[in-house]
Amino acid sequence: MNRLLIRIATTCLAIVLCGAAGWCEDVAPKVAGAEINTVCPISGKPVDPTITVVYEGRTYAFADAASRTTFNAARENSLYQKLGGQAALSAVVDAFYVKVLADERLKHFFAEVNMDKQARKQKAFLAAAFGGPVAWKGQDLRTAHADLKLTEADFNAVAENLLKTLQECKVKQELIDQVMAIVGSVKNEVLNRPKAAK
């Protein structure tokens, strides 16, 4: 129990520090040997390798200067960056799964799941959903949850754990509201319900 509390406290400290630092650039893992992209993430055209920006230790190349400006503006305005970027999100997801795995309502769903992989996927999914620089390339949420036969109560229990994690980590209420709205917006997919009528 004590070890659990220490882990959560350490995680929360990381989030508070990252939030204060904004970019978290010096704590974000460097992507060793990562290839620079050849397709511009903004225009979809081939890149000019001299037009680049380094974000969270990773270099992104663009087709032209205007695309780079668009990319930088999107980063600055993103919920992802306001939360503290990769390091903060990673810490939130780790603390969240500690809670989920201790929750009697939920732990059985993850009994056979490789939690390192799951946490990695969840970090990548949420990063993309919050406006991070890398698009989600995993399964769509309908397919990923189709066999689990989840109920509204299951979804709400997961959302409750995420909310508690964010609160314990002293994330600003305004950002918590944005996170929870995005998570709420995928409910129909996760529960494999028909899309909400427009």
Query: Binding residues for ligand HEM, per CB under 6 A?
Result: 106, 109-110, 113, 118, 121-122, 125, 138-139, 141, 144-145, 148, 150, 154-155, 158-159, 183, 186, 190
Cβ proximity to ligand HEM, 99 vs 145, nearer residue: 145
Cβ proximity to ligand HEM, 46 vs 184, nearer residue: 184
User: Least distance in Å: CB of 111 to ligand HEM?
Assistant: 9
Which is nearest to 132 in space by CA: 93, 91, 171, 83?
Answer: 83
Which is nearest to 166 in space by CA: 126, 132, 198, 197?
Answer: 126
User: Least distance in Å: CB of 183 to ligand HEM?
Assistant: 5
User: Least distance in Å: CB of 110 to ligand HEM?
Assistant: 5
Beta-strand relationship, 48-55 and 58-62: antiparallel
Cβ proximity to ligand HEM, 23 vs 109, nearer residue: 109
User: Least distance in Å: CB of 50 to ligand HEM?
Assistant: 35
- 174 burial via Cβ count (<10 Å: 0-12, 13-18, 19+): exposed
**Cα–Cα distance between 166 and 118 in angstroms, integer?**
19
Cβ proximity to ligand HEM, 75 vs 145, nearer residue: 145
**Cα–Cα distance between 8 and 63 in angstroms, integer?**
42
Which is nearest to 90 in space by CA: 148, 165, 142, 144?
Answer: 165
Cβ proximity to ligand HEM, 52 vs 78, nearer residue: 78
User: Least distance in Å: CB of 160 to ligand HEM?
Assistant: 10
The number of residues in the chain equals 198
